[in-house]
Amino acid sequence: MQNSTAALPPQDDDDDSRRLFLPLLDSPPETVAGGAPKVAAERESRRRLNKYVLAAAVLASTNSVLLGYDIGVMSGAILYIKENLTITTEQEEILVGSLNVCSLIGALASGKTSDWIGRRYTIVIAAATFLAGAILMSFAPSFPFIVAGRVVAGIGVGFSLTIAPVYIAELSPALTRGLLTSLPEIFINAGILLGYISNYAFAGLPASINWRLMLGIAAFPAVFVAFGISAMPESPRWLAMKGREIEAKRNLIKISDSNEEAELRFREIIKSASSASGKWRGEGVWKELLLNPSPSVRRILIAAIGVNFFMQASGNDAVVYYSPEVFRDAGIEDNKQLVGVTVIMGIAKLGFVLVSAFFLDRFGRRPLLLLGSAGMACSLAGLGLGSKFLEHSDTKPMWAIGLCVVAVCVALSFFSIGLGPITWVYSSEIFPSRLRAQGSSLAVSVNRLVSGLVAMTFLTISRKITFGGMFFCLAGIMAAATAFFYRFLPETKGRSLEEIETLFEDELH
């Protein structure tokens, strides 16, 4: 039987790294890959969450607060921007949707960038870009300037949405990857709630000042991320793909709970990265993804693009952005009351995404995704019925208004159980290592494009077919999403990233 040292890089790394791996150097690969050490490592992972990985995941996810905050704060800020800058409905849709459409640029660029300079520094680019956009928005003297600020901020959002889940997935052990990779969605929902609270806190100020403060506060998380980057480890999988195996091993020691777990993960990563040269920068990935994909890669693309498409086609972001308009149409007139209702929505969304995150690694991705999408279909249909009743009612009874408010909160809660967190988890874990960053960027680009299109047309379409008609359409889309997820998305719970690479091949047989 071949000695396991043959699988390791040349023994020129530091003494501490050698000593940590030394107990395993005389054991055969099969023992590490399939025997008692693997069982022990998995048992250890179940017992506790690695604090170093958790800290890195939290810091990487902080960028996601920026998107969530923008979604939440813009729903209230737009009321005062319209009053202060006197903009039309069409300009309102452009203002809201421009960030999402332009995040497509950042999403497309992030894959190649992160393959070139690394995951950590791509996160810094995301934070710095959003910081510049937030400053532009808060000091904008006119409509064109504020749109320019949202364009810049949108590019930063695109970078962040793509790279943060990829970075976290590449750091996380298989048994806690669902929880850790859902952190970006948790932070998005925390940002939404903070945006609602900001709206409520500044609503009493003059309209020429309050929306500027609402938008400008978003600069602070970006500064925090930029300063915290030095404490974050680079992805061991990216280091291995670059031929920097010594650094990859050193970082694995930091993010693993035992020698056995670190060695197991190291062998899997080296095996997966063996096809890439030391100077690999992601060359040929787009060709493999789009021009000549293998059957398994094609299946991965269908799953990743599909889940990202339906995440935004659900209308979740648009409902959050325009919830004051929806509730005003339902019969709530006062701006302060409108903003207060959105705070309730934010609390519901954050609460349920936390529930989903903590159960993802226990129940799996598929059950929660199917529950969430089916629940959205039913609640959106109920919201459509309530809206239709109010459209044909002159008295606007409180029970009907309350029904619509509850239906919106239930729909957004089901989104937070399923599509919200699981889209980021799934997109970041199913691509092979050499395709992960750019494959995720392609999927997230579809996500951002659909989000922008929905945000920029939601009010126009709703005014033509009414809000009730719009919610019925969204309910039908979510019914189709449930069927798609059942057919095309296999379960990935508890599998290492390298094992998931073979999962879609197995599905072909």
pLDDT at 303: 93
Domain end marker among 183, 210, 232: 232
Q: Verify that 344 and 460 share a domain, yes or no.
A: yes
pLDDT at 381: 93
Domain contains 96 = yes
Q: Verify that 323 and 416 share a domain, yes or no.
A: yes
- Domain CATH for 356: 1.20.1250.20
Q: Are 64 and 160 a contacting pair, CB within 8 Å?
A: yes
pLDDT at 275: 56
Choose between 227 and 294: higher pLDDT: 294
pLDDT at 428: 85
Indicate the pLDDT class of residue 134, thresholds 50, 70 and 90: confident
Domain contains 278 = no
Number of domains in the chain: 2
Pair of tokens at residue 38: 């693997």
Domain contains 503 = yes
Residue 144 in this model has a pLDDT that exceeds 70: yes
pLDDT at 480: 97
Q: Verify that 179 and 69 share a domain, yes or no.
A: yes
Domain contains 94 = yes
Per-residue pLDDT, averaged over 110-134, amounts to: 88
Pair of tokens at residue 360: 């993802």
Domain end marker among 209, 232, 255: 232
Residue 30 in this model has a pLDDT that exceeds 60: no
**What's the pLDDT tens digit per position in 69-101?**
877 788 778 888 888 888 887 888 888 778 878
Q: Verify that 345 and 225 share a domain, yes or no.
A: no
Q: Verify that 200 and 338 share a domain, yes or no.
A: no
Q: Verify that 339 and 208 share a domain, yes or no.
A: no
Choose between 375 and 276: higher pLDDT: 375
Count other Cβ atoms within 10 Å, centred on residue 203. 20
Residue 29 in this model has a pLDDT that exceeds 80: no
Q: Verify that 206 and 300 share a domain, yes or no.
A: no
Per-residue pLDDT, averaged over 354-359, amounts to: 87
Domain contains 243 = no
Domain contains 17 = no
Residue 3 in this model has a pLDDT that exceeds 50: no
Rounded-to-integer distance, Cα 19 and Cα 15, Å: 6
Count other Cβ atoms within 10 Å, centred on residue 297. 20
Among 26-40, 275-289, 346-360, 383-397, name the most confident range. 346-360
Residue 419 in this model has a pLDDT that exceeds 50: yes
Q: Verify that 115 and 184 share a domain, yes or no.
A: yes
pLDDT at 476: 96
Domain end marker among 213, 232, 251: 232
pLDDT at 314: 92
Indicate the pLDDT class of residue 36, thresholds 50, 70 and 90: very low
Q: Verify that 65 and 171 share a domain, yes or no.
A: yes
Q: Verify that 174 and 307 share a domain, yes or no.
A: no
Domain contains 198 = yes
Q: Are 452 and 101 a contacting pair, CB within 8 Å?
A: yes
pLDDT at 378: 94
Q: Verify that 68 and 167 share a domain, yes or no.
A: yes
Percent helix / strand / coil, the chain, rounded to 5:
80, 0, 20
Indicate the pLDDT class of residue 507, thresholds 50, 70 and 90: low
Rounded-to-integer distance, Cα 251 and Cα 69, Å: 32
Residue 485 in this model has a pLDDT that exceeds 90: yes
Average pLDDT over the chain reads 80
Q: Which long-range contacts (CB under 8 A, 24 or more apart) does 338-343 make?
A: 338/76, 338/79, 339/76, 339/79, 339/196, 339/199, 339/200, 339/203, 340/200, 341/405, 342/72, 342/75, 342/76, 342/196, 342/199, 343/193, 343/196, 343/197, 343/200
Domain that residue 390 falls in: 293-508
Q: Verify that 305 and 223 share a domain, yes or no.
A: no
